[in-house]
Structure 1
Amino acid sequence: MSDTDVNEMSFEQAMAELEQVLGQLERGDVALDESIALYERGALLKKRCETKLNEAEEKVAAITTDSDGNPTGLKPVEGL
């Protein structure tokens, strides 16, 4: 388990660590206290991945296209 702040991780970093956490929990070869810590870390990593995916979806949704489907720019994001 990494000591890196989850909020500073890229999607790829968070997903890789989440896979490691899940692997450890699935094997069941860790003590109860460590399992709880892993579960908590996994929940934070899952939330980070969801946040980064939502951000990416919003960026894709903001891409405007012309009548031929070619990208022409970005729509302004509301609230910014």
Structure 2
Amino acid sequence: MTSTTDEALGYEQARDELIEVVRRLETGGTTLEESLALWERGEELAKVCRRWLDGARARLDAALAEEREDRDGEPDAE
């Protein structure tokens, strides 16, 4: 489950932390328990990034649909 703190993270913050988690996992030298905790954290950060990207895609799609509607004079019939 995503914490309230994670929900407050911006895309860039979540992405940067995710990059650091991946780097630590790739480097190794952690215990199994630490590796599992890092992996779980990485999964949560990936979800945060995905939500931001999905939101950005929705905003772009809405803006493009509005632009087509303005240009064509009628709603997009996708």
Task: Name the TM-score class by shorter chain.
Answer: 0.7 to 0.9
Count how many residue pairs are aligned between Structure 1 and Structure 2: 65
Q: Which amino acid aligns with 2:54?
A: N
**C-alpha distance in 1 between matches for 2:28 and 2:40:** 15
In structure 2, how many angstroms separate the alpha carbons of the residues matched to 1:9 and 1:67? 37
Whichever structure has more strand as a proportion of its residues is 1
User: TM-score, normalising length from structure 1?
Assistant: 0.75
Mapping for residues 49-68 of structure 1, pairs under 5 Å: 49-63=49-63, 64-65=66-67, 66-67=70-71
Summarize deviations over 1:11-51 as a string: whole Å, max 9, x none. 00000000000000001111111111000000000011001
Residues 1-80 of structure 1 aligned to structure 2 (within 5 Å): 5-63=5-63, 64-65=66-67, 66-67=70-71
Match of 1:72 in 2: none
Structure 2 spans left out of the alignment, 5+ residues: 73-78
Tell me the distance in 2 between the aligned counterparts of 1:35 and 1:57: 32
Distance in 2 (CA, whole Å) between partners of 1:25 and 1:5 is 22
- State the 1:67 CA deviation: 2.6
% same residue = 40
Where is the helix percentage greater, Structure 1 or Structure 2?
2
- Structure 1 outlier segments of 4+, above 6 Å: none
| Cα RMSD (Å) | 1.7
Unaligned segments of structure 1, at least 5 residues: 69-80
